[in-house]
């Protein structure tokens, strides 16, 4: 078997074992709780029924005594008889409740026995197909140790997902040194950046988040630009635009001065795709031009 197959087999045996134990514990708990609840309710209901019987007998004797000794009116007798009927109805309801609880106890006992048999059959079948679980567990532990050793040999990542990294030298893909981007995910040999590009560990270092409109420094810079520069005309797909700066994370110094057609706008990260070789640049670094 391969490493992956042995790992999968070990996980299957472990899951089957845990499932059998969890089901057994859950049914024992449910059965114990139901029995305790049934015994508590049964004792209370039996006391209630006995009390009602005593009350019924007392009411009958009261009716006889009232009729014989005091000659009460028919209205009073009817009231007492109505109370007796209500008590009889309550006794019938409690008896029906007891019958239902007895049936529920039997159902849970049957379900518990059935689940035990299914779990035992499944466990036996798993052992028959997969082999001795003790041997598989030992093999699984050995695989885990091997995986841990392999993980210890992987490169260390000084930057975590969500943090910012800066290029410290020119990458073969053309990304210039000094570019700053946010890390989206950690890869075995590098980082996946928010823009979708891949940066190797050896080509970047941790850095602070650049000043944007969401930071105090960025707000101050934006306010300064608003005071000193005219508001740029809105750019739409199909417009001609010129790269006038490289203040963004994606805009390279070599892109300054390039003119191209706006092919796509990404409102999520504020980038613009231009024709003419500039490619993806930051929206804040382009201005609409007329030809």
Residue 243, CB-side half-sphere exposure with 13 Å CA sphere:
27
Chain-centre distance for alpha carbon 175: 37
Give the bridge partners for 46, in sequence order. none
> Could you read off the pLDDT tens digit of each residue along the chain, which spans 291 residues?
677 777 777 777 778 777 778 877 887 887 888 778 777 777 787 888 888 888 888 888 888 887 776 665 677 778 888 888 888 888 888 888 888 888 888 888 887 777 767 666 666 666 666 566 666 677 777 777 776 665 555 556 788 888 998 888 765 555 566 778 888 888 876 788 887 777 787 778 888 887 654 556 555 544 544 343 444 568 888 999 999 988 777 788 888 889 999 998 877 667 888 988 888 888 888 899 875
pTM for the model: 0.26
pLDDT of residue 38: 76
Identify the pLDDT of residue 228.
Answer: 36
Token digits of residue 11: 């996980």
* 1.10.443.10, 3.40.50.10190, 3.30.930.10, 2.30.30.30: CATH of 230-289: 2.30.30.30
Tokens at 131, concatenated:
């082999």
- List, in sequence order, every residue forming a beta bridge with 241; answer none if it has no partner: 260, 288
Task: Count other Cβ atoms within 10 Å, centred on residue 262.
Answer: 19
Alpha carbon distance 11, 156 (integer Å): 29
Distance CA 126, CA 160 (A): 42
> Cα dist. 254→100, 137, 204 in Å?
84, 59, 20
The pair of structure tokens assigned to 281 is 């640049």
The sheet carrying 164-167 orders its strands as 198-200, 190-193, 180-187, 164-167, 204-207
First to last CA, the chain: 68
What's the pLDDT at 241?
Answer: 92
- Residue 162 contacts residue 155 (beta carbons within 8 Å): no
Cβ proximity of 255 and 243 under 8 Å: yes
Enumerate the domain spans of the chain: 3-144, 164-207, 230-289
* Strand ranges (E), the chain: 164-167, 180-187, 190-193, 198-200, 204-207, 240-243, 259-266, 271-274, 279-282, 286-289
Looking at domain 3-144, its CATH class is mainly alpha
């Amino acid at each position: 078997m391969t490493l992956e197959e042995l790992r999968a087999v070990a996980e299957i045996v472990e899951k089957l074992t845990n499932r059998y134990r969890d089901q057994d514990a859950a049914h024992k708990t449910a059965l114990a709780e139901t029995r305790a609840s049934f015994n508590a309710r049964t004792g209370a209901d039996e006391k209630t029924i006995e009390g009602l019987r005593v009350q019924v007998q007392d009411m009958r004797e009261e009716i006889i005594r009232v009729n014989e000794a005091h000659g009460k009116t028919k209205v009073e007798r009817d009231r007492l008889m109505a109370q007796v009927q209500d008590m009889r109805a309550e006794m019938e309801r409690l008896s029906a409740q007891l019958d239902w609880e007895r049936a529920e106890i039997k159902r849970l006992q049957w379900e518990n026995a059935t689940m035990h048999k299914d779990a035992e059959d499944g466990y036996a079948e798993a052992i028959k197909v997969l082999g001795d679980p003790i041997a598989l567990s030992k093999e699984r532990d050995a695989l885990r140790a091997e995986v841990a050793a392999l993980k210890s040999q992987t490169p260390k990542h000084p930057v975590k997902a969500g943090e910012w990294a800066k290029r410290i030298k020119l990458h073969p893909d053309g990304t210039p040194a000094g570019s700053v981007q946010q890390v989206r995910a950690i890869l075995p040999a590098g980082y996946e950046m928010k823009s979708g590009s891949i940066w190797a560990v050896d080509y970047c270092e941790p850095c602070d988040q650049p000043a944007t409109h969401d930071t105090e420094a960025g707000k101050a810079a934006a306010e300064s630009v608003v005071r000193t520069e005219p508001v740029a005309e809105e750019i739409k797909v199909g417009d001609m635009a010129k790269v006038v700066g490289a203040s963004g994370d994606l805009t390279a110094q070599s892109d300054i001065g390039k003119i191209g057609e706006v092919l796509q706008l990404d409102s999520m990260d504020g980038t613009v795709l231009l024709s003419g070789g500039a490619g993806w640049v930051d929206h804040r670094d382009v201005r609409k031009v007329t030809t």
